[in-house]
A and B are shown apart, each in its own frame.
Chain A
């Protein structure tokens, strides 16, 4: 199915006072980052056509606007853009490989394609959580958009767009994500697993994509020698996330299990 909108974001008018999502983000500290996870996972999984089930006529742009709409209970909004020195085709193709997705997405353990929708299993030291989400539209080499299933405990919607950058600078990649953190135990659990800085995690995910696409590896210092850290050094070490291995290095060999379909 097709949409008549060619370049979704090109039509967006930044001058028309968009509410500042970042400030709100900071206030809403206790939040979750699934963002890159959910979005990128959909790229990887959608080997069959989703467009049939999608609100395709709405097109990516409408979905994108929808993410920025704070009604419907979505109050936390994150938007991150990076320019990647590769063509949209290369990036799109790259994202369709599972091994690549796993290197990008923190804490994504498994994906079940149950149809309708996907169950994404995120895990960490504190337990596992299932996120139910569904792609709502995608156009090859241009965008993909998704939102939570009605029965998902975690309400969210997001889009990832690829636009050609001017002057042969590659492709502008924008990830927009809106979400509402569930209350109670699940909300606290999600926060524990994903950390309290969702925007940083989104940036991290997109930056890893950029690094992999441009250099073939993810810059890291995890595992390098150091002198005596002492107590102060160890606190700083965790603050600067030194011990965090580059995502997926130790599990890149593992194939995720895709159940169903």
Chain B
């Protein structure tokens, strides 16, 4: 089959690899009909996530048709159309039973690496480094899906692929980020980053009853997309101080909750950015928490700091005193995707939201490498790229 493989920093290639097969009884094989490139993939592309190997198959946002099932999978059959959550979870461990799916105890074959780094290991993920399982990903024509009896959700015929593909990650991720804000009537939510995750966080905040949402980014097309979702917009390159603007917009209170949908590769501005670049150059640190610092500083007393943006290692100059001084509640982590599949699918069915609004580019797998480059550089007003793994095959 054809697959997008990581071959090092800024180097993704289309390769012909073996088709996946069933390895465990609870596996299924899915013929992928749509797959997406995620902001998280950019952290791999930019070489920020350790334990990647040249040749790793990328991709964790995918859906398709079940073509093979292991002997332990009773709830799926060949031909079922499913969306696959990017977190791999067993369904029976303590964490899965608490709905903490991305903390599953049993799905990471390389748990020992994560245990050394973090004390304990989270769940395995598709296509996201060996520390997090080393599973082959879904930017390919087929994928093996472990624990297929608990993960994939069946999709009713009346919904098309683009409407449901993002149940695999970014819709639940934005939704969980908003849910973590404990939104009450009258609440004002600020969202750093208007990438796909930020876009879903904005819309989810409204779905969950936010009074106002303020979106922060520097790309006009992304801010406009946020605006189309009823958010107010701050282009941080056009204002002197984001925190002051937020104070003004909230009558001096500060946002009730702040969402960092940017993560470890935040674009640097402000007083610490030179310092961050120097540290990065010296390899003393690999995360750049610009947006996180701002979010901490801006948040109102007793507010919530919700962090869907990915961080990998040690953070420097994080104003922890402000977290303490204002009694902030911090919530973060990989999304517990399984928990949100059904309720969010129902919201799509009820037409409360059509997740395909974020898609700006549709390309074939063959064009994947250029798409990575374009998405990284935010060229051509790119917000979200969807891949069709069979486009060439059909044309031929």
Residues in A lying within 8 Å of B, measured CB to CB: 83, 85, 169-170, 200, 203-204, 207, 210-211, 214-230, 232-233, 236-237, 240-242, 246
Contact = CB atoms under 8 A, between A and B. Distances in A.
A228 B97 CA distance: 38
A225 B147 contact: no
B21 A223 contact: yes
Contacts of B111: 207
Contact of A229 (B26, B53, B91): B53
A219 B20 contact: no
B20 A229 contact: no
A89 to B, nearest CB: 17
B26 A240 contact: no
B130 A236 contact: yes
Given A221-B135, A233-B54, A241-B110, 19 more contacts: A85-B94, A203-B112, A204-B112, A211-B90, A217-B26, A219-B108, A219-B109, A221-B134, A223-B21, A223-B23, A225-B1, A226-B136, A227-B55, A227-B57, A228-B5, A228-B7, A232-B54, A233-B55, A242-B134
Contact of A216 (B26, B51, B57, B130): B26
B53 to A, nearest CB: 4
Interface residues of B, number: 48
Contacts of B24: 217-220
B106 interface: yes
A45 B163 CA distance: 56
A57 to B, nearest CB: 37
Contacts of B18: 225
Interface string B132-144: 0111100000001
B25 A219 contact: no
Contacts, number: 119
- By Cβ-Cβ distance, the 4 closest A-B pairs, closest first, are A227-B5, A233-B54, A227-B55, A225-B18
Nearest to B131: A240
Interface in B103-153: 105-113, 115, 124, 130, 133-136, 144, 146-147
B57 A226 contact: yes
Nearest to B13: A227
Contacts of B53: 226, 229, 232-233, 236-237, 240, 242
Given A225-B19, A236-B53, A240-B130, A217 B5 contact: no
Given A83-B94, A227-B56, A217 B112 contact: no
Nearest to B110: A240
Contacts of A169: 94
Contacts of A200: 112
Contact of A214 (B13, B25, B57, B93): B93
A226 B147 contact: no
Nearest to A227: B5
Contact of A228 (B15, B108, B130): B15
25 contacts: A85-B93, A203-B112, A214-B92, A214-B93, A214-B106, A218-B24, A219-B106, A220-B23, A221-B23, A221-B133, A221-B134, A221-B135, A224-B20, A224-B23, A224-B136, A225-B3, A225-B17, A225-B136, A227-B15, A227-B17, A228-B54, A228-B55, A229-B53, A233-B55, A236-B53
A232 B19 CA distance: 23
Contacts of A83: 94
B159 to A, nearest CB: 30
Contact of B25 (A85, A217, A228): A217
Interface string B1-35: 10101110000010101111101111000000000
Q: Which of B17, B24, B108, B136 has the largest number of chain A CB atoms within 10 A? A: B24
Interface in B270-307: none
A227 B133 CA distance: 17
Contact of A219 (B7, B17, B124): B124
Given A224-B23, A225-B20, A85 B92 contact: yes
A200 B19 CA distance: 32
Nearest to B136: A224
A203 B144 CA distance: 26
A224 B108 CA distance: 15
Contacts of A203: 112, 115
Contacts of B79: none
Q: Which of B51, B105, B133 has the largest number of chain A CB atoms within 10 A? A: B105
Given A215-B106, A221-B109, A240-B110, A226 B56 contact: yes
A210 B92 CA distance: 11
A216 B72 contact: yes
A229 B8 CA distance: 11
Contacts of B17: 225-227
A211 B7 CA distance: 32
Q: Which of A169, A225, A226 has the largest number of chain B CB atoms within 10 A? A: A225
Nearest to B16: A227
A216 B51 CA distance: 28
Contacts of A85: 92-94, 97
